[in-house]
Structure formats: C-alpha cells, structure tokens
Chains A and B, each alone.
Chain A
C-alpha cells in the first residue's frame, strides 16, 4: 500500500522541482480552505475564488515557509488574510450582524430559507445557517477550532492574536452561535439543543 507523504515531505519535493506534487497538497487541504473561505464570502463562487487565490499565494511563497510550524497553520493564515482582503475589497458590511441588527438579519435568512424550499433541512443545515449569521471572525475561530484541528495557540498564530484572546473569543462565538441556533430552530431547538 502506498504511504501518504507528509506535508513537509511534499513541500521538499516541490521545492526540488516536482511542482506537480503541489496538486496533492491542494487536494489535502482544499476542503478546509474552501470551508474557511465560505465563512467570509457566503457564496460558493466567491469562496472558490478566495480558496484558489490563497493556494496560488501559498505556492508563490512556498520557498519562504520556515517549516517550524504546521503547513496547515501557515496556509490558514494566508486564507484568513486573503479572505479579509476580499471582504475589504467587496466592502461587505461585516458589522451588520450585531446584537441590534441580528433579528432583522435572522428574519431575512429564515424567509430565504423557506423560499428556497429547504423544508427538510437537517440540523447541520441549520448549523451552517447559524454560522453564516455570525461575524466572520467568530465563524473563522469556530471553524478553525472544530474542523481545522488547530490548538488555541495555532489559531492565535493564524489570526495574529494571543491564545487567551482566542479562548475568550471562542467562548463568546459559541454562545452567540447557540443564540442564533435557538432563534432559527425555535420549537425544534428542544430537539436539537
């Protein structure tokens, strides 16, 4: 059985000239990078653009990767900064979903939800909806913690924050998520939460 090469081994091969090996790195990390990009972009097309952009940026800078941290942490840092730049470019109002505006946003999302005919939506669809209602930073921290297999220290490196700050932000993000879920699910909340 063919043994899968580690990220660092693949990077060494790429730097030695076998650039086609980069496809393996892309395949390995594309789902998470895309998911993280979705936390900022909201549409699949934009998220794919961000994800592609960050893989190209990572390729260009591969020679500068110091290999003293995980490749995934380095890649997620690029994803985060690329996504933030994208948000600034698109001039999205990232602060629109605050405590005061949340209810209005939620109603819109619920009506969109029904209009799209997702009547048999699962708990995961609701969860994605609720994550979509969070601020991008909160959504990114939750995604990095649960799906990125990143420790608080590594998330701190990615977002350029102290790990204690990340811990507090994670607590708050989950509390907000619980609120959003409770609002979205209403009666079904007792079943899922």
Chain B
C-alpha cells in the first residue's frame, strides 16, 4: 500500500497508471489534507525544476583541454587490432595446413594393406539409463539453456534500439 506522499509524487512525476491518476486527482479535489500535501510537494517539485545549474570557472574547458593534451589520444577498441594482421595469421596457418596435407597425400601409398580390426568387447547397456525421468531432465536443461539464449538475444536487441 502506497503512502500519501508516494501517491502524490507518482502523480506529479507522471509515473502512475491512468486509473491511479484519476483516483489521486479525485482525492486532491475532495480531500483537503490530500490537497494541502499535494500543493506543498508541487511547489518543491517546481522549485527543483526551476533550479539553475552551477557554472564552473571561465577557464574550466581550457584547463580540461590542457590536461587532455597530455594524454594519449583515445582510439576505438575495435580498431585497435588491425584486421589485416588477423587475416595474415589465418592465411599463414591455412597455407601451412594445406601444404602439410598436399605433402601427405603426395607421398602416401594408396595400396590397402590387409588388416583386421581388433575385436572390442562393447557390452555396455545404456537402456537402464534412458528412462522417462532422465529424458525429462535432459529436455528441462535444454529448455533452460534455450531460455537463457532467448533472454540474451532479446536484451541485445533491446539495447541495440
């Protein structure tokens, strides 16, 4: 339950709902105590609204610029790393891998020797672990991860506006 003060400040700031606004306006019109509190708060609000900003000294901008001139010029972080350097490194490793692959294929003998796969005893039975409960847990974790992703995606979209 909001106090009278909170209701009136919300009314003055315009942060209440249309229904609350009508309700408070009616109270201001009918209740003398409410009206008195409203008048007081409104005058504080108007006084604050009309308040002038303080003015720094005349040399303020000059002083700041003198200090700023001693600093290293700022650079946008995304341009600090030159993309060409990244591409050069990627190209070097790409070419190196390609060269190794070509060399390996060029020197490979394509005759298939006769060999047998070693026999492995894989008798592990997964069926006891695949229960309705484990499937539900798996799906629940997937849904939670999906919601995390959706939340992050929507936040990014909102901040981009």
Contacts and interface: CB of A to CB of B under 8 A. Distances in A.
B55 A52 contact: no
B85 interface: no
Contacts of B48: 127, 142, 146, 174, 177
A15 B43 contact: no
Contacts of A61: 74
A127 B54 CA distance: 13
Interface in B71-87: 71-77, 79-80
B52 to A, nearest CB: 7
A174 B41 CA distance: 8
Q: How large is the interface on A (under 10, 10 to 19, 20 to 34, 35 or more residues)?
A: 35 or more
Contacts of B89: none
Interface residues of B, number: 39
A59 B49 contact: no
Majority secondary structure, B binding face: helix
Nearest to B62: A23
A56 B71 CA distance: 8
A171 B5 contact: yes
Given A30-B60, A52-B67, A61-B74, 4 more contacts: A27-B61, A63-B74, A68-B160, A124-B52
Interface of A: 14-15, 17, 19-20, 22-23, 26-27, 30-32, 34-35, 38, 44, 47-48, 51-52, 55-56, 59-64, 68-69, 123-124, 127-128, 142, 146-147, 152, 167, 170-171, 174-175, 177-178, 181, 192-193
Interface of B: 5-6, 9, 15, 40-41, 43-45, 47-57, 60-61, 63-65, 67-69, 71-77, 79-80, 159-160
26 contacts: A19-B73, A20-B65, A22-B65, A22-B68, A23-B65, A30-B56, A30-B61, A34-B53, A44-B57, A48-B63, A51-B56, A52-B60, A52-B63, A52-B67, A56-B67, A59-B74, A63-B77, A68-B159, A69-B159, A142-B48, A146-B48, A170-B9, A171-B9, A174-B41, A178-B40, A181-B47
